[in-house]
A and B are shown apart, each in its own frame.
Chain A
Amino acid sequence: MEMPKPDAAVLARRVELIGALRRIVPGEGVIVDADELRAYESDGVMAYRQMPLVVVLPSTTEQVSEVLRFCHEAGVKVVPRGAGTSLSGGALPLADGVLLGMSKFNRILEIDWEDRCVRVQPGVTNLGITTAVAHRGFYYAPDPSSQIACTIGGNVAENSGGVHCLKYGLTTNNVLGVEMVLMNGEVVRLGGKHLDSEGYDLLAAVTGSEGLLGVVTEVTVRILPKPETARALLLGFPTVEGGGQCVAEIIAAGIIPGGMEMMDRPAIHAAEDFVHAGYPLDVDGLLIVELDGPEAEVDHLIAEVERIARGCGATYARVSSSEEERLTFWAGRKSAFPAVGQIGPDYLCMDGTIPRKELPRVLRAMTEMSQRHGLRVANVFHAGDGNLHPLILYDANRPGEIEKAEAFGADILKLCVDVGGVLTGEHGVGVEKRDLMPYQFQPEDLTHQQRLKCAFDPDGLLNPGKVFPQLHRCAEMGRLHVHRGQIPFPDIPRF
């Protein structure tokens, strides 16, 4: 994994740049000390580390705007950062770049109950939004497992998902508007409390853009009334295929559960050892299906799902009889990553998505790959939407093992693409999957993505080295390759 070469001229001007940044963000807002900078050298992907040139922690939109304008004019790169929980290296610093931390943007600006939305600063945590509205029976639907720590700004940048996204959508389906600062310092507002702004849907383009298009300084999200009740089923299958079949049949029956998650045997055992959720240990596939809504509906659907599961060969079925029990079912799934970390010692978390029906084939292939690479793998899936999280176990202290794990991971992701899926479902491309992009996209597909960047940041100063394996110059991509007289008039019917 190679990052763009640091610009020696920028490195040489460090002291001068720091002085200028301090004039914009006074006091503790500019961090230069090596010990303090170390806290920012990596995000959720600990394998990649890089000390930034300097860290700047602005606290107002005006400061963000001035910092970006200054960096734009000085030709200095900028990497935005929320809580640093990215699992793709999206917030990995650059040696010659400013790391722009958004942690001081931590206020909830407005709760508008009547219009069912909340306006917050981007550094507010995902869970912080739900906590602020829970007392009146509302919540913010997308719930990544990292929700205690990750910020809403990071969620917008990654278009994060969670176990409830099957029914309630991803970040992109729940964000109504943002305020954003472009690399040239201009401030734009996209969307708002109203729906479906006419004009280009730049909000959709910015959501999931991994900090490459602008720095988000305010977010408006919709909040939902909490369902009257929620109950979960724990279903055990002798094979993972049986679980996969059950998922397909639930959806074919017209049921969209609030959540539908699956774990394979190694993940079940790791989670059970870690939190003692009472998971059955004699099954190869465990499904958690949550139904939410009015009591009458949930009762009806629980019975339906149980019936379907039996038909698919479930050997174990338990229905939560209390809120406490429901949360216990989830506790194992929600702590699956740290649980696997216990049996590690290290793990790589993959994030491909596949058409659900391909699950048996992909799992079989993964078992074979595991043997070939000589590394163990545990699987948790967002089964309802085909999003896989294979966790590849390795030991970073053994020479060559991280490379082996990465090769195994790449094989899995390529397989996801081969069966009609994608490289990443919710964690982002970042630096981690960057070099695999040409496996999923043809050169002209990638060029059309990169052209969008040219409209927002033509000099490529915002978070370079992420998402795209090759940086093309905007001037080159803007050039037309067809000219007068080259193409005959099309030989097709005219009227």
Chain B
Amino acid sequence: MTSVQTPAQDGAPTGPSVLKPATEAQAHEVLRWAVAEEQPVELVGGGTKRAIGRPVQAAHRLDFSGLRGISLYEPEELVLSAAAGTPLAEIEATLAARRQQLAFEPADPGPLFGRPAGTQTLGGVVSANLSGPRRIKAGAARDHVLGCRAVSGHGELFKAGGRVVKNVTGYDLPKLFTGAWGTLVALTEVTLKVLPAPEHERTLLLLGLDDAAAIQALSSALCSPHEVAGAAHLPAAMAAGIPGAAEQGAAVTAIRLEGFAPSVAYRAGLLEKALGGKAATAALEGGASAAFWRAVRDVAPFVARPERAVWRISVAPRRGPAVLGELAARLGAEGYYDWGGGLIWLGTDPAGDAGAAAVRAAVGGEGHATLLRAPEAVRTAVPVFHPQAPALAALSARVKQTYDPRDILNPGRMTAGI
């Protein structure tokens, strides 16, 4: 290993630098140095999510894309471990070859941020905990993270969790680090629970429903025993950007069923009987169904509207229509629903606060709203993540302090202090 540039005598190199370790030991070495010298670092994998969160001010960028490779994959044990910089595409292809998958259906955020698709890494996926439409049935990214190796802001390399699903040996730190946006530890390796991929999928579409009726229909589907694995509603303008929905020329309410073919056919029949009286129906099979949900997952309607700021709002499902309705009226915003109404993708005018005051007022304390895409100036001025009650905010700050006392790791990414 050779040094490309010699640092200045005081330890700090001149100007911002990108460090690209090729091994865990090197990543550890960099972070030990950063802690010792109090040099903040920005942690980067594929860089697809660099524009999410508050802008990080750091003189150094630690690029994990050199730390790659699947170190363990045992299909019959439903477990996979890989270095943090491993491209997700590589992991998904490896799993697909054995007809398995990451059941939380991670979105590919690249295109939403004007970047190419297929470039994100495992570390980024886990650090963001962004889960796709199957979240409602299979759980979030965090539910599939079994273990990890990481370097904390103490400059120490350690492991947490394990490689088995049933494990209550000590605190569940791997889940805590999931969704922490690299502000607590730098993940070097992650162990995931993987699952069989469904043999077949079919999506039932209900056409022309208004938001309230649609969310009610989704709710009754989700209250049925038919194991719904996707429940979204797209008002007509939003549906226009989604393959399989655009052709319908109307609002589309979509219910996905997965599993063994006879079971899917049987459940689809029952659901259509139960819900079909309320609206015209259509169906998407196999590949067409998969393409539809990929577009819902990757927020395609707002990939097509690059001028909009994008909010990701999570509320109790039945509150969905009221929240979106209020914001459409107040802000001229537009959006669609996933997770049976509980997840709203909202587009607003990025000027001013990008609608933050109205969005946060509409969501209140029972839910959260993240300003996922917005110009840097807005993300600097407006809290990107939902503001927390004082006691919880103080507790979160103490958790940051305990793992990263010198504020070395992605400083300021989540809030001004974190």
B135→A195 contact, CB < 8 A: yes
A208→B172 contact, CB < 8 A: yes
Given contacts A195-B342, A483-B36, contact A182 B395 (CB under 8 A): yes
List CB contacts (< 8 Å) of A181-213 with chain B: 182, 186-190, 192-202, 204-205, 207-209
Task: Pick from B88-96, B115-123, B221-229, B242-250 the stretch touching chain A.
Answer: B221-229
B171→A115 contact, CB < 8 A: no
Determine if B187 is an interface residue (Cβ-Cβ < 8 Å).
Answer: no
Determine if A165 is an interface residue (Cβ-Cβ < 8 Å).
Answer: yes
A199 to B389, CA, bound (A): 12
B67, chain A: closest CB distance, angstroms: 11
Given contacts A437-B169, A480-B154, contact A357 B77 (CB under 8 A): yes
Minimum-distance CB pairs A-B, first 6:
A204-B175, A297-B263, A425-B166, A254-B196, A193-B316, A489-B7
List CB contacts (< 8 Å) of A432-478 with chain B: 433, 437, 440-442, 444-449, 451-452, 454-456, 467, 478
Determine if B314 is an interface residue (Cβ-Cβ < 8 Å).
Answer: yes
A205 to B403, CA, bound (A): 14
Interface centre among A172, A182, A442 (most CB of B within 10 A): A172
A492→B26 contact, CB < 8 A: yes
* 10 extra A-B contacts, CB within 8 A, seeds A190-B392, A202-B396, A488-B11: A198-B179, A202-B395, A226-B225, A251-B78, A254-B196, A293-B225, A355-B164, A428-B168, A487-B37, A490-B33
B36→A159 contact, CB < 8 A: no
A355→B74 contact, CB < 8 A: yes
Q: Kindly list chain B residues whose C-beta atoms are within 8 Å of the C-beta of A188.
A: 389, 391-392, 395
* Of B3, B314, B339, the contact of A492 (CB 8 Å cutoff): B3
Task: Pick from B138-146, B274-282, B324-332, B373-381 the stretch touching chain A.
Answer: B138-146
A481 to B36, CA, bound (A): 8
A227 to B139, CA, bound (A): 18
A352 to B195, CA, bound (A): 22
Given contacts A161-B166, A426-B168, A481-B154, contact A455 B398 (CB under 8 A): yes
- Interface majority SS (helix, strand, loop, mixed), chain A: loop
Q: Kindly list chain B residues whose C-beta atoms are within 8 Å of the C-beta of A158.
A: 168
Fill in one digit per residue for A324-366: 1 if any B CB lies within 8 Å of its CB, else 0: 0000000000000000000000000000011111000000000
Chain A residue nearest in CB terms to B391: A186
A200→B172 contact, CB < 8 A: no
Q: Kindly list chain A residues whose C-beta atoms are within 8 Å of the C-beta of B18.
A: 494-495
A494→B398 contact, CB < 8 A: no
Determine if A19 is an interface residue (Cβ-Cβ < 8 Å).
Answer: no
Q: Kindly list chain A residues whose C-beta atoms are within 8 Å of the C-beta of B139.
A: 169, 173
B1→A491 contact, CB < 8 A: yes
B170→A449 contact, CB < 8 A: yes
Determine if B55 is an interface residue (Cβ-Cβ < 8 Å).
Answer: no
Q: Kindly list chain A residues whose C-beta atoms are within 8 Å of the C-beta of B135.
A: 195-196
B167→A204 contact, CB < 8 A: no
Q: Kindly list chain B residues whose C-beta atoms are within 8 Å of the C-beta of A296.
A: 262-263, 265-266
Task: Pick from A262-270, A382-390, A400-408 the stretch touching chain B.
Answer: A382-390
Determine if A23 is an interface residue (Cβ-Cβ < 8 Å).
Answer: no
Determine if A482 is an interface residue (Cβ-Cβ < 8 Å).
Answer: yes
Chain B residue nearest in CB terms to A474: B402
* Of A187, A226, A480, the contact of B155 (CB 8 Å cutoff): A480
Determine if A486 is an interface residue (Cβ-Cβ < 8 Å).
Answer: yes
B173→A449 contact, CB < 8 A: yes
Determine if A107 is an interface residue (Cβ-Cβ < 8 Å).
Answer: no
Task: Pick from A38-46, A54-62, A416-424 the stretch touching chain B.
Answer: A416-424
* Of B11, B166, B318, the contact of A426 (CB 8 Å cutoff): B166
A297 to B1, CA, bound (A): 56
B339→A429 contact, CB < 8 A: no
Q: Kindly list chain B residues whose C-beta atoms are within 8 Å of the C-beta of A480.
A: 35, 154-155, 405-406
* Of A137, A193, A455, the contact of B225 (CB 8 Å cutoff): A137
A478 to B140, CA, bound (A): 32
Determine if A276 is an interface residue (Cβ-Cβ < 8 Å).
Answer: no
A422, chain B: closest CB distance, angstroms: 5
Chain A residue nearest in CB terms to B396: A200
Determine if A372 is an interface residue (Cβ-Cβ < 8 Å).
Answer: no
A478 to B8, CA, bound (A): 30
Fill in one digit per residue for B381-418: 1 if any A CB lies within 8 Å of its CB, else 0: 00001101101101110111111011000000010000
A256→B196 contact, CB < 8 A: yes
B158→A445 contact, CB < 8 A: yes
Determine if A5 is an interface residue (Cβ-Cβ < 8 Å).
Answer: no
Interface centre among A293, A421, A478, A493 (most CB of B within 10 A): A493
A354 to B165, CA, bound (A): 10
Chain B residue nearest in CB terms to A186: B391
A204→B142 contact, CB < 8 A: yes
Determine if B283 is an interface residue (Cβ-Cβ < 8 Å).
Answer: no
Task: Pick from B288-296, B353-361, B362-370 the stretch touching chain A.
Answer: B362-370
Tally of chain A residues near chain B (CB < 8 A): 108
- Bin the interface of chain B by size: 35 or more
Chain A residue nearest in CB terms to B196: A254
Chain A residue nearest in CB terms to B385: A198
Determine if A399 is an interface residue (Cβ-Cβ < 8 Å).
Answer: no
B75, chain A: closest CB distance, angstroms: 7
B266, chain A: closest CB distance, angstroms: 4
* Of B131, B163, B262, B392, the contact of A189 (CB 8 Å cutoff): B392
Chain A residue nearest in CB terms to B367: A194
A354 to B37, CA, bound (A): 42
List CB contacts (< 8 Å) of B319-349 with chain A: 339, 342-343
Q: Kindly list chain B residues whose C-beta atoms are within 8 Å of the C-beta of A487.
A: 29, 32-33, 36-37
A492→B131 contact, CB < 8 A: no
Can you list 23 A-B contacts with CB-CB less than 8 angstroms, sorted by A residue number?
A: A114-B318, A194-B314, A195-B343, A196-B314, A201-B129, A201-B180, A202-B392, A202-B396, A251-B76, A293-B227, A294-B225, A301-B260, A353-B162, A354-B164, A357-B74, A426-B168, A455-B402, A481-B156, A491-B2, A493-B2, A494-B3, A494-B13, A494-B17
Determine if A112 is an interface residue (Cβ-Cβ < 8 Å).
Answer: yes
A186 to B35, CA, bound (A): 32
Determine if A373 is an interface residue (Cβ-Cβ < 8 Å).
Answer: no
Determine if A398 is an interface residue (Cβ-Cβ < 8 Å).
Answer: no
Q: Kindly list chain A residues whose C-beta atoms are within 8 Å of the C-beta of B76.
A: 248-249, 251-252, 356-357
B222→A201 contact, CB < 8 A: no
Determine if A485 is an interface residue (Cβ-Cβ < 8 Å).
Answer: yes
Determine if A427 is an interface residue (Cβ-Cβ < 8 Å).
Answer: yes
Fill in one digit per residue for A81-94: 1 if any B CB lies within 8 Å of its CB, else 0: 00000000000000
Q: Kindly list chain B residues whose C-beta atoms are within 8 Å of the C-beta of A440.
A: 169
Determine if A307 is an interface residue (Cβ-Cβ < 8 Å).
Answer: no
Q: Kindly list chain B residues whose C-beta atoms are within 8 Å of the C-beta of A13.
A: none
Chain B residue nearest in CB terms to A413: B169
Q: Kindly list chain A residues whose C-beta atoms are within 8 Å of the C-beta of B6.
A: 489
Q: Kindly list chain B residues whose C-beta atoms are within 8 Å of the C-beta of A135.
A: none
* Of B22, B33, B129, B176, the contact of A205 (CB 8 Å cutoff): B176
A452→B173 contact, CB < 8 A: yes
Q: Kindly list chain A residues whose C-beta atoms are within 8 Å of the C-beta of B164.
A: 353-355, 385-387, 420-422, 425
A251 to B165, CA, bound (A): 14
B389→A482 contact, CB < 8 A: no
A482→B36 contact, CB < 8 A: yes
A225→B317 contact, CB < 8 A: no
Determine if B178 is an interface residue (Cβ-Cβ < 8 Å).
Answer: yes
Given contacts A421-B162, A425-B166, contact A300 B21 (CB under 8 A): no
B160→A170 contact, CB < 8 A: no
B169→A482 contact, CB < 8 A: no
Q: Kindly list chain B residues whose C-beta atoms are within 8 Å of the C-beta of A386.
A: 164-166
A112 to B199, CA, bound (A): 33
A452→B399 contact, CB < 8 A: yes
A204→B367 contact, CB < 8 A: no
* Of A202, A228, A425, the contact of B399 (CB 8 Å cutoff): A202
* Of B267, B317, B391, B405, the contact of A294 (CB 8 Å cutoff): B267
